[in-house]
A and B are shown apart, each in its own frame.
Chain A
Amino acid sequence: MIYDDEMETLPREALEALQLKRLQNTVERVYNLVPFYRRKFEEAKVKPEDIKSLDDLKRLPFTTKQDLRDNYPFGLFTIPLEQVVRVHASSGTTGKPTVVGYSKRDVDVWSDLMARSLAATGVTKGDIIQNAYGYGLFTGGLGVHYGGERLGATVIPISGGNTKKQIMIMKDFGSTVLTATPSYTLYLAETMKEMGIKREELKLKVGILGAEPWSDEMRKAIEEKLGIDALDIYGLSEIMGPGVAIECIEAKNGLHIWEDAFIPEIIDPETGEVLPDGEEGELVITTILKEAIPLIRYRTRDITRIIKEPCKCGRTHRRIERIKGRTDDMLIIRGVNIFPSQIESLLMETEGVEPHYQIIVDRVNNLDTMEIIVEVSENIFSDEIKHLQKLKERIEKDIKDLYGITVKVTLSEPKTLQRFEGKAKRVIDKRKI
């Protein structure tokens, strides 16, 4: 179903004209209101009036996650805090998160785009959405929530975890839509099996899954186990949250990115050069409807390509392919973004721990697991087991408190960790996605 028929099927020419107008407004806005952008534009010798066509976008400088950190917490906002109605954040390298704000209109636009996204997967106001994305600073929970309400569907704000209760509610309330990470969805399916609940006992028909990389193989497994259509959703808090792009149920092939709100580009991550449609590279997004914190050419670090061929669903907004990976070392563990450097700084802050560690990521029973192997140096070694156990538990707790993920810390003998070219290989990702 198409939620906003006029906008979603707007002929390309009209859509691009609208994009240019909104881009010009955004560029003008950030240039005048955010000292950071004015400085960056001046360094790049470009002024708002130089943006005469969409092609001129490439003259503008990139914005990175580091820029958000450097301007922590509110430095890139274009409006005073009294006009900001919501903030969200994602975890940052040194414990400082990346903060984004929303004006009343931003929340409104987000709700609309999310409603569009839900509708594109076949959801209607008659549906019951079991929203298993986390509520909180993470955008997943509230993003889906507002979109579901905007569409007029019934939203169950159950958030993540508590799997058996999830299944009970899913069965008793007759949930028809599940929004969750794909790995959690598989875990739910396994738990259902253990509980002896058959998929026929549920009314579930569609899963809208995202916040972590997954594959078509995983899609097949989920669809078979639950008897549903599993669709991919894309978003990131810096740009808005969930609902930046969505797979339509008609084609189930690539995600429509809402081009009346975002301009996607694919660049060569090494040179920064813009690549033509169809070529694989890093996705860069410019927001053209945001008020509180518009971002110009934000480097998502996600690898994909743009599919320019028209989609059979009739939407004119171009599609991006399923995200293939990252250009940096960011790990996505059960939907939580985490950089190895975050683990490293936490270990360094733990008294006596030397920077000899290794992170092992795996997927066991469809759930991501993270193990941190820490070499025991003389500084932390004790003749008593309980002291070493305490150290181990403290690291586990610190990571849980700071990043919200459960990890297993294993103590190892010094120099047992593999070292390559004199440098330890920090991360071993055994997941087969």
Chain B
Amino acid sequence: MKRIRQISVFVENRPGRLLEVVDLLGKNGINIKALSLADSSDFGIVRLVVKGVDDAIKVLKENGFTVRETPIIACMIEDKPGSLAKILKTLAENEINIEYMYGFASPIEGKAVMVFKFSETEKAQEILDKHNIKMLTQEEIREI
């Protein structure tokens, strides 16, 4: 299974809440590989890809956060103009809907990593496989 583990954290929409999440992980030696913040008028969801998922979940829960783990897909693409557009075009042509996506902080020289949550994960994976788009495993995420 080419899935990676994403942690989602519920936060109220008020100053300093994101800091608390990030600070907690930092103090516990957990490295954040990728992060995105989705917000509505009164709450937000922090989505994280980290090194040390189990520790991260444990420490967040211990500190009273509501946490959920979601399997998502991480694609490695060329770090050059037009490569993201190419992937999105393939997905669009095959009518794959993206729920949300975000990028990794500088992973490997010359490469970029994007994470996706699709409405139909199985189907998306098939399409990506067929078009030889490289998907990362949890082990590979740990390495980068």
> A residues within 8 Å of B by Cβ?
376-378, 381-385, 388-389, 410-416
Task: Judge whether A415 and B38 touch: CB under 8 Å.
Answer: no
CA distance A383 to B67 in the complex (A): 9
Interfacial chain B residues near A376, Cβ < 8 Å = 10, 43, 66
Which residue of B6, B38, B40, B65 contacts A413 across the interface (Cβ within 8 Å)?
A: B65
Interfacial chain B residues near A414, Cβ < 8 Å = 64-66
A412-B12 in contact given A378-B67, A378-B68 (Cβ < 8 Å):
yes
Task: Judge whether B117 and A389 touch: CB under 8 Å.
Answer: no
Task: Judge whether B45 and A415 touch: CB under 8 Å.
Answer: no
Task: Judge whether B6 and A411 touch: CB under 8 Å.
Answer: no
Which residue of B11, B43, B64, B68 contacts A383 across the interface (Cβ within 8 Å)?
A: B68
Q: Please report which residues of chain B, range 45-62, place their CB below 8 angstroms from some CB of chain A when the two chains form the complex.
A: 45, 47
Which residue of A381, A384, A385, A389 contacts B66 across the interface (Cβ within 8 Å)?
A: A381
Interfacial chain A residues near B47, Cβ < 8 Å = 383
Q: Is B90 an interface residue (CB 8 A)?
A: no
Residue with the greatest number of chain B CB neighbours at <10 A, chosen from A376, A384, A416:
A384
Write out, one digit per residue, whether chain B residues 64-87 have a CB within 8 A of any chain A CB (1) or not (0).
111110100000000000000000
Q: Write the chain A residue with the least CB distance to B38.
A: A385
Shortest distance between the CB of A247 and any CB in chain B (Å): 42
Which residue of B12, B45, B64 contacts A385 across the interface (Cβ within 8 Å)?
A: B45
Task: Judge whether B43 and A388 touch: CB under 8 Å.
Answer: yes
CA distance A383 to B45 in the complex (A): 7
Task: Judge whether B10 and A381 touch: CB under 8 Å.
Answer: yes
Shortest distance between the CB of B124 and any CB in chain A (Å): 16
CA distance A384 to B70 in the complex (A): 10
CA distance A416 to B63 in the complex (A): 12
Task: Judge whether B65 and A383 touch: CB under 8 Å.
Answer: no
Task: Judge whether A413 and B117 touch: CB under 8 Å.
Answer: no
Given A412-B12, A416-B12, 20 additional A-B pairs, CB 8 A: A376-B43, A376-B66, A377-B66, A381-B8, A381-B67, A381-B68, A382-B8, A382-B45, A383-B68, A383-B70, A383-B117, A384-B99, A384-B100, A385-B45, A410-B42, A412-B43, A413-B64, A414-B64, A414-B65, A414-B66
Shortest distance between the CB of A378 and any CB in chain B (Å): 6
CA distance A389 to B6 in the complex (A): 21
Task: Judge whether B64 and A415 touch: CB under 8 Å.
Answer: yes
A382-B68 in contact given A376-B10, A412-B12 (Cβ < 8 Å):
yes
Q: Write the chain B residue with the least CB distance to A408.
A: B42
CA distance A382 to B67 in the complex (A): 9
CA distance A388 to B39 in the complex (A): 11
Q: Write the chain A residue with the least CB distance to B99.
A: A384
CA distance A384 to B8 in the complex (A): 9
Q: List 27 A-B contacts (CB under 8 A).
A: A376-B66, A378-B67, A378-B68, A381-B8, A381-B10, A381-B66, A381-B68, A382-B8, A382-B45, A382-B68, A383-B6, A383-B8, A383-B47, A384-B38, A384-B100, A385-B38, A388-B45, A410-B42, A410-B43, A411-B10, A412-B12, A413-B64, A413-B65, A413-B66, A414-B64, A414-B65, A414-B66
CA distance A243 to B67 in the complex (A): 55
CA distance A377 to B68 in the complex (A): 10
Task: Judge whether B10 and A413 touch: CB under 8 Å.
Answer: yes
CA distance A378 to B64 in the complex (A): 11
Shortest distance between the CB of A373 and any CB in chain B (Å): 10
Interfacial chain B residues near A410, Cβ < 8 Å = 42-43
CA distance A421 to B10 in the complex (A): 27
Residue with the greatest number of chain A CB neighbours at <10 A, chosen from B10, B67, B70:
B10
CA distance A294 to B24 in the complex (A): 65
Interfacial chain A residues near B43, Cβ < 8 Å = 376, 388, 410-412
Per CB-CB distance, the 9 closest pairs between chain A and chain B, nearest first, are A383-B8, A383-B70, A381-B66, A376-B10, A385-B38, A411-B43, A381-B68, A376-B66, A415-B64
Shortest distance between the CB of A211 and any CB in chain B (Å): 31
Q: Please report which residues of chain B, range 17-40, place their CB below 8 angstroms from some CB of chain A when the two chains form the complex.
A: 38-40
Interfacial chain A residues near B99, Cβ < 8 Å = 384
CA distance A290 to B6 in the complex (A): 67
Interfacial chain B residues near A413, Cβ < 8 Å = 10-12, 64-66
Interfacial chain B residues near A389, Cβ < 8 Å = 40
Which residue of A384, A411, A415, A416 contacts B117 across the interface (Cβ within 8 Å)?
A: A384
CA distance A413 to B12 in the complex (A): 6
CA distance A410 to B42 in the complex (A): 7
Interfacial chain B residues near A384, Cβ < 8 Å = 38, 45, 99-100, 117
Task: Judge whether A385 and B40 touch: CB under 8 Å.
Answer: yes
CA distance A383 to B6 in the complex (A): 9
Interfacial chain A residues near B42, Cβ < 8 Å = 410-411
Task: Judge whether A388 and B40 touch: CB under 8 Å.
Answer: yes
CA distance A66 to B45 in the complex (A): 43
Interfacial chain B residues near A381, Cβ < 8 Å = 8, 10, 66-68
Shortest distance between the CB of A383 and any CB in chain B (Å): 4
